[in-house]
Homo-oligomer: A and B are copies of this chain.
Amino acid sequence: MMKVSAERIDVTQSIYDENDRIAAETWKVLDEKCIFTVNVMGAPGAGKTSSLIHLIQNMPQTRSYVLEGDIESDIDTVKMKGLGIETLQINTYGACHLDAPTVQKALEGLPLSEPGILFIENIGNLVCPAEFMIGEHIKLLVCSVAEGSDKPYKYPLAFEKADMILLTKIDLKAYVDFDEAFFFKGVQALNKDAAVFEVNAKTGEGFDGAAKYLENLASGGTEVKTYP
């Protein structure tokens, strides 16, 4: 988020209000179509794309769709499509997060013909995406052990707002001296509700449980927050 002085707060507030209005519209359309929508957030290189691939492959009975957000490039979309996953690329060309108008516009290009789960992979950024609703049912935070165990303390908003957290690259724990107790203490202090799953995209470890949890949320088997 741009830092603004007091006299510009009205402009900022109106941007937020307009964003939220459009996010609520999008949410309503998606919800009526029975498209459970997941806003996937995380730092650059946290393992968002690899995690989505594993989650989707662990839900063969569920129809999955992906909106792939990147500042530039279509590397992840090419990867997704190569695996037969219905994916649409959004490039923001500079903008540090997806906002509701961008997502609303992009969805015109994704038919979403049957009920299922839509993953919207946000820009790799542990700060700004957490501030903007884009029409999602839940926020999934992807965080890698290689980022260090102090991330909840330094980037609290993303952890606070997450409904579900994937702790990725757990095979690297020993190499990066990841302090598990410190990490979980930080998460717990910010967010008592988010389910945390430890995963390893190299072996697929942990994704079966995460996928089951997500499918359960999507089918309404677990309480799902209504908008917002």
**Interface hit among A54-62, A69-77, A104-112:** A69-77
Q: Shortest distance in angstroms between A111's beta carbon and chain B's nearest beta carbon?
A: 26
Assess whether A86 is interfacial by the CB under 8 Å rule: no
Is B154 a contact of A124 with CB atoms below 8 Å?
A: yes
For A72, the chain B residues whose CB sits under 8 A away are: 153-154, 156
- Write out the residue numbers on chain B whose beta carbons fall within 8 Å of the beta carbon of A3: 92, 95-97, 99, 102
Within A74-116, which residues are at the interface with B (CB < 8 Å)?
Answer: 75, 92, 94-97, 99, 101-102
| Contact of A171 with B by CB under 8 A | yes
Residue contact A126 to B127, C-beta cutoff 8 Å: no
Q: Are A156 and B45 in contact (CB under 8 A)?
A: no
Give the CA-CA distance A37 to B201 in the complex, in Å. Answer: 40
Q: Is the CB of A128 within 8 A of B45?
A: no
Q: Is A11 an interface residue (CB 8 A)?
A: yes
Q: Does A164 contact B (CB under 8 A)?
A: no
**Which of A3, A15, A94, A147 gathers most chain B CB within 10 Å?**
A3
A75 close to B150 (CB less than 8 A): yes
- Name the residue on B nearest A149 (C-beta): B45
* A-B contact list, 27 entries, CB within 8 Å: A1-B94, A2-B15, A2-B128, A3-B92, A5-B101, A8-B15, A11-B11, A44-B126, A44-B151, A44-B155, A45-B146, A45-B148, A45-B151, A70-B154, A71-B127, A72-B153, A72-B156, A73-B153, A75-B154, A94-B157, A96-B125, A124-B127, A125-B127, A128-B128, A144-B146, A146-B169, A175-B175
Per CB-CB distance, the 5 closest pairs between chain A and chain B, nearest first, are A45-B147, A146-B146, A2-B2, A96-B127, A3-B95
